[in-house]
Structure 1
Amino acid sequence: MALLTTEQSQTRFLAIVLPTLTLCTHTLLALSSVLPGSDPDRACFSLLYNALAAGASILGLLGAIRLVPSLVSIYTLIHTTTLSFATIALVNAPFNFGLINPVIPSWQIDENAICRDIDAGFGWDEEWLVKCSKSFSLVKLCVAAMGLFLMVAQWWALMTVRRWGKELRFQRRLMECGSDVEKAGILRDDHVLMNEKSGL
């Protein structure tokens, strides 16, 4: 087993926490796709993809615990795809660009209908309806901005775990080739010296 530095040990904790959270998230998304009222065309694909992502999260968790870089790589690849879809969905939410996102469930809020329902009960005027619609749009923008902030944090965490997995793979290769960074440097210097002598 590779010896980890203090920074790598701290990153390992993140590499354990992140797939645990994504496992819970994809499990809940998979369950939500089979609830009554779900669109059957989207539900099948969403269920399959979230089951795949949950499986990748399990592999990532095992990779972080057992220090297996290949399992961590599988997890980061799948989760990068998922985060890309989720980022598109969040950007699309307040502006309604009409982008298709088959993985993340999407909901369209009709703020005008909600404001009219409220108006029917209280009998407010047209000016109030306009203010109500603007308030809903502002709330959507704030929620999307908060979601994007959390998404940036997830991207940072994912890239940190990905870099940690690469460092782990590099350490393992060094151990297989001769164990030590210094030894690897000596071998490289000897190789350069031999090339200089041979003229190659």
Structure 2
Amino acid sequence: MNYLTELLAFFRWMEQQRLSPLLQAFWHYLMYFNNRAAIKGADGFWYWPVEFRVPNKLFQDALGLKNRQPLWTQRQTLIRKQRVTYTPDAGNRAGQYRLIPFDKGLAPASIAAGERQEPTLVWTQTATESGHGAQPYINNINPKQASLFYHNQEEPPNTHSIHGFNLLPPLTESEKAAIQALYPGDSVAAFNAMWAAREAKQKGETT
């Protein structure tokens, strides 16, 4: 799962959803805790676990809630909107969350992780590989290096900066339309394909 891709997709999804500020914050904290629970596989890569646990008290403190009722309400709303599933624990342990990714190219897979005896379910890339491949991008959400050869074409001449930004060449409207036509109804796949096209355009300009 790619943190930045999910974040951008969430904001695009919000254009069609009326979400309270509290509900938005709750989703962001779910992403944060899911990311913080990252698992290092035997291959040395970090992966997002499909399921993770968070105590109610952590959410209450983070969101400034005095009791669990508002938290229950926010959780039920995300469940109804099919953005998360939740399994309460029968004992005193924290309940188990499972975020539903916006990226339709993700699928659960079992991996061996550290000293765990049982395989662990993690998110892996399957169909949507045009932009990012199978790399999980856990802790470094924007791993791209700064480009010394490209500047933002929209900036005035002689004002561009090379201090830490990889500003890719923009696509024309016709290029965007052609890519969107390849991925009807899948905005994440279209976004990944557009990013790949911009990277390819940059390589063509700098080689």
User: Could you tell me the TM-score, scaled by structure 2's length?
Assistant: 0.23
Structure holding more helix per residue: 1
User: Which structure exhibits the higher relative contact order, with contacts defined as CA atoms closer than 8 Å and separated by 6 or more residues?
Assistant: 1
User: Could you tell me the TM-score, scaled by structure 1's length?
Assistant: 0.24
User: Is the radius of gyration larger for structure 1 or structure 2?
Assistant: 1
